[in-house]
Structure 1
Amino acid sequence: MDATGRDGIIASDESHQHQEPLLQPKQQPAAETVSSALEDMLSDTELPRFRRLWRATRIELKTLFRLAAPAVVVYLLNNVTSMSTQILCGHLGNLELAAASLGNNGIQIFAYGLMLGMGSAVETLCGQAYGAHKYEMLGVYLQRSTILLMATAIPVMFIYIFSKQLLLLLGESTSIASAAAVFVYGLIPQIFAYAANFPIQKFLQAQSIVFPSAYISAATFAMHLLLSWIVIYKLGVGLLGASLMLSFSWWVIVVAQFVYILVSDRCKLTWRGFSSQAFTGLWDFLKLSTASAVMLCLETWYYQILVLIAGLLQDAEIALDALSICMTISGWVYMISVGFNAAASVRVSNELGAGHPRAASFAVIVVTSSSFLIAVFLAIVVLALRNVISYVFTSGTTVSPTSSSGSPPTRRLHHPQWHSARSLRSGCRVWMASFLSRM
């Protein structure tokens, strides 16, 4: 975000509360503050340069992985919860797998990318406010983001309602478009769950509260598997029941996380109840949210285009099934990147808010290097398992070999670029980050 947009949000807030600028730390007691250990180490010119960098790297890696590990678990479990529905539908038949694939990767990913991107504005502002000890503003930012995302969910809902007509207009076959539309109808409640979940998730992550979300996601995933199996195979509800069960599971995550915020002592400073201040400064907040969304949508929507194109091929069912398996595998690994990105954004915004510019810059270097090494390792794993992993999704002898030839690891090499863009956004340079994500 440019300086004008950022200052507009801060000025709006300060008209209600006379406080220092956002990036100036406010000295007040708190249960937990951003440590200055990394900044002190990088500023210690008495130590030899190599030793100083080595110690700083150890400090940053410890902090980074403490945030990233549970964040990765959260995103993986949330992704696998969605993908498990697709897997269960896939064992009903090729048409069902194609319909769930088109619904998940062709329609649902539109809402996911938009909501996650817009919700990331909370990550930027809450992270800096937390680092600057302006704890009361975190709850206000959470409420503002939820208001905007709920409003955005309404027009997105109409895309879901008219999904069959849209798919037919794009040239999809009648059978696949009709089946996919049935699946998509059950995902309508999920749109509003996204609108509530991502601001809550970013609100917690900005405070380095990540383990509760991981526990909630794990419990919800176990519940989702059991209930989905009953609904799909025992009750025979089919595609609509599968997608409704997925929407229900996302709402369980939302409610559980919000209950944690209400009852946890760790959120007493940052959540002070609902505030009318959340309805002020919405325009400036919308500009930041939109800029954040542009960057992430450019990352996700071209996959959506691939799915829609695959549905136009001669053997549309086989093409969609094979591409879906490849994208699901890629999505699992991609969630690892998203988890590290969340940790990186929190680290950079916290350090900037605390007035630690050296630590913020060093955090970018460490997370980008770590991400590249992880990308190489995961690329090797995907290549090694490409001939067997597809059978998790289907027992079809045609789909599995096709998908095995289409599981390239090159997507993993986007990790470092995405980390850099996220780090720029944490410093409120969102338009620059959006430009880089197009490159």
Structure 2
Amino acid sequence: MEKLGSTDPADPPPGAGPVAGVSVGRSTGAEEDEAAVSSKLFRCACVRRWLPLVYREELYQVLRLSGPLLLSRVLNFLLPFVNSIFCGHIGNAELAGFALASATINITTYATGFGLAVACDTLISQTYGSKNLKRVGVILQRSTLILLLFCLPCWALLVNSHNLLIILHQEEQVAKIAHLYVMAFLPAVPAIFLHQLQVAYLQNQGIILPQMYTAAAANVFNLGASYVLIFLLDMGVNGSAIANSLSQIAICLLLFGYIRWKKLHQETWAGWSTECLQEWGSYMSLAIPSAFMVCFEWWVWEVGGLLAGVLGEVDLAAQHVMVEIGAIAFMFPLGIQAAACVRVGNALGAGNTTSALVTCKVALFLSGTLAFLQGIAIASFKSVVGYIFTSDENIVNIVSQSLTVYIFVQFFDALLCVCSGILVGAGMQKIAALSNLVGYYCIGLPVGIALMFAAKLRILGLWLGIFICVSLETGFFIFLIFKLNWKKVTQKAQLRAGKRVMVIPMRPVSTLLNDAMVADISDCPNTAKLVGEAVNQMATVQSTPRIRS
């Protein structure tokens, strides 16, 4: 295979410009500046020789998005984490009530809002990539109305949470505390939904920093409000719930104010339009599978907690520690997942099939590499990491044993997470939702339950079941991604964005890309033939009348 040494690695090969990145809303000068920065990041001669320029440029773009996204998710994770610390200092019953309330809110509200907003990750990324910018504003309006309507069933479930918890055989005192917390949290439900839409609206345009700034400010507010309400005003759990609710409202208002202040909406917002009352069917066809895709994954961890509770307090505590460690480890692939979703959606909306494929390979390689390094770190400290959460030797030993399996779980889960982001960017939530249903509830949980109780492996058995699930599902997703008819996927993305692609035969691939790039893409038989067409598809995108459902 011929190397890239025949050309200056700093200069793109002829025709490689559109492949290296989706230049939506960017000037040529901005693209050249980014190319110069990315070339400085990869000064190693070995890397520049063996890694084709298009992959280096895409790696830079993914890292540029992933870093701030990772920090934003960590800051959002800290909001409930701080509340749990404050509740733990009130008393054991209050901490148990907070944990039960958090599980209730996660299942009924967070999972629903996050899942429904995932449809915007598909629609906005593809529409913005197609440069049909004003349609992005219409999508935001439509999704706002739909998610606000979904507040009603969420409120209904939360209001009746006490009765539901009693039906699930929870302790009366703990259920009462959880219900008080949930009732004080009710005003935050619309803010949670709207904030998810704001984040989707910005990040799918490649605007990441505002959500990081506002999340940091909300954490400062939450810390101060929690201290004042819980300790100075002696409001107990109610004070924690009010502080949490006010923090969720604050982060939504802060991000809205930042968008208005910096005029980040001007390109895509043309005012409220009656068009937002149309095409609800097309939105829901993505939103409902997205919600199930998220809920199927989130619910399995709550089920795992209930199963661990059957084994006893020690196993329940160990499972809680494992979930906390998993939540922290999962932040890294989450950032890459969001970046992959944005890049794939933008590329497909722009008609640039090749760029979408390059993003898939780069994101999967990056997540696999980070997960491998993360696994080494966990293996090095698995015998002592439990002491961060507890001083109980039994719990620490169980956590240490479970982490041996979790090292492999987190590797496949990282790849699975990024695969899900790729499929969302391509608008294939239905397959992802069905796969999560079969993987977690037909394979993972049944095997895990059998190993927990019949084989008497306790929570180690649960994690073995999850390992079998995520490894099989990861293999299926990777096979699916590289066997897709990406030409058809691109055309569907164009239709969603209100555009149409006219595919015109292009020059042979070898005249556009170097041999190293050709050899790499030709590994996928269903995608290699698309490269010649996809390189210059941006020139063939034609506007068409908006499609009605």
The bucket for the TM-score relative to the shorter chain is 0.7 to 0.9
Alignment partner for residue 116 of structure 1, among 114, 117, 124? 114
The one-character-per-residue Cα deviations of 1:285-316 (angstroms, maximum 9, x if unpaired) are 1121111112122211101212333445554x
Counterpart pick for 1:361 among 347, 351, 357: 357
Cα distance change on mapping 1:398 and 1:157 into 2, 3 Å: farther
Aligned-partner Cα distance in 2 for 1:359–1:223 = 41
Contact 2:97 2:178 in 1 (8 A): yes
Opposite residue 339 of structure 2, the aligned amino acid is A
Structural mapping, 1:243-258, within 5 Å: 243-258=241-256
Q: Is this contact kept in 2: 1:107–1:304, CA < 8 A?
A: no
> Is the partner of 2:85 in helix, strand or coil?
helix
Q: Which residue of 1 aligns with 2:4?
A: none
- Alignment CA distance shift 1:272-1:411 (3 Å): farther
Structure 2, unaligned runs of 5 or more:
1-22, 36-47, 440-549
**CA–CA distance in structure 2, aligned partners of residues 320 and 247 of structure 1:** 27
Task: Tell me the equivalent position of 2:428.
Answer: 429
Matches within 5 A, 1:40-439: 53-315=51-313, 320-386=316-382, 389-390=385-386, 407=403, 408-413=406-411, 414-438=413-437, 439=439
Alpha-carbon offset, residue 111 of structure 1: 1.8
The percent identity for this pair of structures is 28
Structure 1 range deviating more: 272-281 or 343-352 = 272-281
Name the structure, 1 or 2, with higher relative contact order (CA <8 Å, separation 6+): 1
Alpha-carbon distance in 1 for matches of 2:25, 2:358: 25
State how far apart, in whole Å, the 2-side matches of 1:256 and 1:181 are: 28
Distance (Å, rounded) in 2 between the aligned partners of 1:129 and 1:87? 42
Q: Deviation per CA, 1:18-51, whole angstroms, max 9, x where unpaired? A: xxxxxxxxxx99566996999xxxxxxxxxxx95
RMSD: 2.8
Query: How does the TM-score come out when normalised to structure 2?
Result: 0.67
What CA distance in whole angstroms lies between the structure 2 residues aligned with 1:401 and 1:89? 26
**Residue pair 1:123, 1:202 contacting (<8 A) in 2 also:** yes
Residues 122, 31 of structure 1: alpha-carbon distance in 2 compared, 3 angstrom cutoff: same
Is the 8 Å Cα contact of residues 345 and 423 (structure 1) preserved in structure 2? yes
Cα separation, partners in 2 of 1:314 and 1:230, compared to 1, 3 Å? same
Summarize the Cα distance change of 1:128–1:251 in structure 2 as closer, same or farther, 3 Å threshold.
same
Structure 1 length-normalised TM? 0.83
Deviates more, 1:391-400 or 1:202-211: 391-400
**1-structure distance, mates of 2:317, 2:94:** 10
1:172·1:311 contact (CA, 8 Å) conserved in 2?
A: no
Distance change (3 Å), C-alpha of 1:326 and 1:184: farther
What SS does structure 2 have at the residue aligned with 1:267?
A: coil
Deviation at 1:94? 2.5
Whichever residue aligns with residue 346 of structure 2, its letter is N
The structural deviation recorded for 1:166 is 1.1
Deviations 1:64-87 (A, max 9, x none): 011111111111111111121112
Distance 1:116 1:94, change over 3 A: same
State the distance in 2 between where 1:410 and 1:185 align. 40
| Contact residue 185 and residue 240 of structure 1 kept, 8 A | no
Q: SS at 1:186's partner residue?
A: helix
Aligned length in residues: 399
1:431, distance to aligned residue in structure 2 (A) = 1.5
Residue 196 of structure 1, CA deviation: 0.5
1:205–1:346 Cα contact (<8 Å) kept: yes
8 Å CA contact 2:83, 2:226 repeated in 1:
yes
Maintained 8 Å contact 1:172/1:312: no
Give 1:350 shift. Answer: 0.5
Whether the 8 Å CA contact 1:348–1:363 is kept in 2: the answer is: yes
Q: Which moved more, 1:193-202 or 1:413-422?
A: 413-422
Output the CA distance in 2 between the equivalents of 1:133 and 1:52: 34
Q: Is the 8 A contact 1:80 1:332 kept in 2?
A: no
Q: Which ranges in structure 1 are unaligned for 5 or more consecutive residues?
A: 1-27, 39-49
